[in-house]
Amino acid sequence: MSHHDERTFVMVKPDGVQRGLIGEIVGRLEDKGLKMVGGKFMQIDEALAHEHYGEHEDKPFFEGLVEFITSGPVFAMVWEGADATRQVRQMMGATDAKEAAPGTIRGDLGNDLGHNVIHGSDHEDEGANEREIALFFDEDELVDWDADAATWVYEDA
Ligand code: GDP
Ligand code: MG
């Protein structure tokens, strides 16, 4: 089932954790048929924040973004599935939760640009998913398992 095994990095941000939305967000990804292969409840330090959001270091919102993402625990995850990176971005909705479409995670659960409850690797940034996975997880923290339901999620599993 090699073409169902794309991995992507997903994170419930500090606002999502504080608001008790971990279960809701995990549930939505499970319901879609994606498979969790790694999960870690953790606190991001300054150095990791700078590395993770390095692409934004010249933006005016960078310091605020680092302060926010280090302000409380996050739930970092790796999810696997066909076209998983793009699938998760579609489910997340637009960056500004005020503008995100109803039905999306940000559209349903958020109301702000900075506080937008979830991070997912950018599918338009080639290799971002693998880079972010490697930044947050050691290979031995990822679990290789077969989800029995996959045969009912994918026609060709
Ligand atoms: P994402 O990939 O959809 O999360 O969006 P980006 O990679 O463009 O930005 C990363 C994160 O920085 C977003 O999720 C927002 O929380 C935050 N962010 C992006 N643009 C702005 C901005 O203009 N102002 C503020 N305050 N935060 C922003
Ligand atoms: Mg991004």
Percent of the chain's residues with pLDDT above 90: 97
User: 22-26, 53-57, 153-157: lowest mean pLDDT where?
Assistant: 153-157
Q: What is the mean pLDDT of the chain?
A: 97
- What number is the ipTM of this complex? 0.98
Architecture of domain 2-145: 2-Layer Sandwich (3.30)
Decide: helix, strand or coil at residue 78. Answer: strand
**What is the C-alpha R_g of the chain?**
15
Per-residue pLDDT, 2: 57
Span of 14-23, 59-68, 113-122, 148-157 with lowest mean pLDDT: 148-157
> What letters, b where the CB count within 10 A reaches 16 and e where it falls short, cover 96-118?
ebeebeeebbbbebbeeebbbbb
| Ligand 1 site, residue 119, Cβ cutoff 6 A | yes
Domain layout of the chain by residue ranges: 2-145
Atom of ligand 1 nearest to the CA of 122: 2
Ligand nearest to the CA of 118: 1
Going by pLDDT thresholds of 50, 70 and 90, the confidence category of residue 3 is: confident
**Maximum alpha-carbon separation in the chain:** 47
The closest ligand to the CA of 119 turns out to be 1
Catalytic residue among 52, 56, 115, 119: 119
Written as one letter, the residue type at 155 is E
Q: Map residue 110 onto helix, strand or coil.
A: coil
Whether 119 is a known active-site residue: answer: yes
Predicted confidence band at 140 (pLDDT cuts at 50, 70, 90)?
very high
